[in-house]
Amino acid sequence: MRTLAETHPKLTDQPPGGAGTVVPHDSARQHVMGTARYVDDIAEPQGTLYAAVIGSRIAKGRIRSLDLTAVATAPGVVALLTLDDVPGHTDIGPVFPGDPVLTQSDIRYAGQPIALVAAISEKAARQAVLLAQIDYDALTPQLDAETALANQQLLRPSHRMQLGDCATVLPQAPIQLSAKMQVGGQEHLYLEGQVSLAVPGEDGDMLIYTSSQHPSEVQKLVAEVLNQPLHKVTVDMRRMGGGFGGKETQAAPWACLAALMAAKTGQAVKLRLPRKDDMVMTGKRHPFVNRYHIGCDEQGRLLAADIEVIGNGGHSPDLTDAIVDRAMFHADNAYFLPNADIRGHRVATDTVSHTAFRGFGGPQGMLIIERAMDDIARHLSCDPLDIRKRNLYAEKRDLTPYHQQVEFATLQRLVAELEQSSDYWARREAITQWNNSSVILKRGLALTPVKFGISFTLQHLNQAGALLHIYTDGSIQLNHGGTEMGQGLHTKVAQVVASTLGVDLQQIRITATRTDKVPNTSPTAASSGSDLNGKAAEQAALTLKQRLSEFLAEQQAVPLSQIRFSDNQVWWDDNQSVTFAELVQQAYLARISLSATGYYRTPKIWYDREKAQGRPFFYFATGASVSEVLVDTLTGEYRLLRADILHDVGKSLNPGIDIGQIEGGFIQGMGWLTTEELVWNQDGQLLSNSPATYKIPAISDTPPVFNVRLFDQANAEDTLYHSKAVGEPPLMLAISVWSALRDAISSLSNYRISPDLDTPATPERVLGAIEALKKQQEAC
């Protein structure tokens, strides 16, 4: 296997550790050695109490009576907290109301927090919780999204996007197809569960250590429940053991509860959810029900598309409005829909409130149009890749249903290059021959593209800040508003500063994300962490570089344009320089400020919701993948044999980290589409509530042949070194696995029938699709 230096030779021209070079994750050594400190590893103050949540045992109804006497008198219990103890706001909905911090009457989902117990040990708190005596008036929960839509049980108003005249063109199309599919949700299953440590200070101050993607939101909500101004609450977040969106809004409730108990007792309080409670009490990726009615010509080119997406938001809005919007924004994926009518609904059911998950609704929206591509191909007896290529965005076919133009050339080139490098057509021929001779085992092949918009669709979130200090020895301390959850954000941002100031990466230390250093930060989400925070850090570095350059230019009596920073030196001509550290010391003695803030906001983006038109995304990240599967038609079991990925990250800030993100995102997406099945019973209880009953991919599920390459082309937009975001888009590359499974099943009909296969496509569902296809053949 070739090294990254060999596969990316241009990177060797970059300074060691700077942007564009392969350097390890800043915490890689600590991760491997087990010394990386997470919230549960922080040395606890003397007298720390341990909290546990009393949650509802029913999914819907009312509390008839609540008796916590046995809980209060249990061994080791110090205090109880109920809704009556909350001095400030009791609703902690992140965007819209609907999320009570505790309830004492209505129950809206199984596991809803009712009260909090604090004890001298974690074991004592968890044992005490079991003693709560609660009588309920239980009602039958409503769990079906389509029923909720029929009854107009909406969390937020529906939205509609239109292009052209779908209502006129669709009925006249020579070929019309319709389908509906269920799209399952997904548990985040981060390695580090939800956890917060609240430490009370003097005069009402509160310090919160939390595993959160959004420290500023935690600060705001904690301040509101405590009835304190925001400046009295400080949130510290060094690193998370995974987040994937599950800690964007849903880390806040546990921080609020810990803070409330700390304020009540005057002692530090730690609240860490056991894995089962974490899975029961926190939201998932939104399950969707998607429908399409499409019209195309005899070559399979789309003429019109009527698409409906129904997002199951659970009991409260949380981020459902924006998530369904993004599903609608991505219902076209990489394809031009000349006449489109896309409707999105946000429905309420009696489950935990579903929330952000890598892709933020985009993956759910993409699936329906990818299903349509396969269905058209089977109807016309074509290869699905031919149909996909005919419908890709192209010249004069580059307007999305929300009226944003697509830079289509990259997408076209990328698909063509992967088609060739993966030997798609030779493998297609070999697979067809295999399937003709193999009775039981069938192979499937699919190439699917990805076009993913980069920016928060809520415009004001597209901003970031940074704080940069240079100390008199030349060492640098960097702080920014982004959070590190394993994705390498801190490493990339530090590389940007190192390149800007021309110093070694080892000279830069990134400190924990804190609300008292960089205020009013946006969540680390929407794949924008590097774009936003890297630009803010670069601005801070440029400010300091300008100050130092002006000082040195004046000192040496040379033009400012001659000053150059590189190799830990600052040069004023080709033969004369001073070390960076020496210049910093001189600047300090000359009373030059060595601290600066940086700020960045994304340009060009806007969206008129009333007209459903605009430019919600700064740019699009693109990619494509080819997956080959082997299916046992007697059992429905399958294996992924090979995956080929070509992904566009612009000019990569760190190819090693980016390739790791692409590999991990693909496998996580494969899990969502195949093995990860959320199951609630008719009483609204989550049955898949532990790793024993919820199956994420293991290392053995990684394909034995796994080829990942970066598409080498600079971003046309003015991003960091013309790079592109890499966090979320790779997850959707896994759609090729699901499409390949459908391809293998379709081979049983000589590729004439396009099978129904909801997600997750578990072996049971694959076998069901096989049996349904056989019955359809018999009926014909």
d(CA 462, CA 601): 6
Which candidate in 187, 217, 677, 728 is catalytic? 728
Are 373 and 384 contacting, i.e. CB atoms less than 8 angstroms apart? yes
Helix axes 655-674, 735-746, angle to 10 degrees: 40
d(CA 189, CA 676): 10
Residues 6+ apart with CB under 8 A from 435: 442, 443, 744, 747
SS3 content of the chain, % helix, strand, coil (to 5): 35, 25, 40
At residue 266, φ and ψ (nearest 5 deg) are 75, 10
Residues 6+ apart with CB under 8 A from 452: 330, 359, 362, 527, 620, 621, 622, 728, 729, 732
Give bridge partners of residue 53 from the DSSP assignment. 116
d(CA 387, CA 446): 12
Are 265 and 341 contacting, i.e. CB atoms less than 8 angstroms apart? no
Are 398 and 408 contacting, i.e. CB atoms less than 8 angstroms apart? yes
CA dihedral 317, 319, 324, 329 (to 10 degrees): 150
Query: Closest Cα to residue 113, out of 194, 232, 207?
Result: 194
Are 177 and 346 contacting, i.e. CB atoms less than 8 angstroms apart? no
Query: Closest Cα to residue 300, out of 372, 368, 399?
Result: 372
Residues 6+ apart with CB under 8 A from 307: 290, 291, 292, 331, 340, 341, 342, 343, 368, 369
Classify residue 100 by its DSSP letter: B
Give bridge partners of residue 601 from the DSSP assignment. 463
d(CA 251, CA 258): 11
- Give the β-pairing of 106-107 and 133-138: unpaired
The DSSP line for 411-430 is HHHHHHHHHHHTTHHHHHHH
Q: Could you identify the residue written with the tokens 């001095």?
A: 87
Question: Is 308 annotated as catalytic?
Answer: no
d(CA 450, CA 622): 5
The DSSP line for 653-713 is S-HHHHHHHHHHHHHHHHHHHHT----B-TTS-BS--STTTS-PPPGGGS-SEEEEEEE--
Are 73 and 241 contacting, i.e. CB atoms less than 8 angstroms apart? no
- Give the β-pairing of 195-200 and 569-573: unpaired
Query: Closest Cα to residue 734, out of 241, 370, 286?
Result: 370
Residues 6+ apart with CB under 8 A from 328: 159, 161, 309, 342, 343, 344, 365, 401, 402
List the catalytic residues. Answer: 728
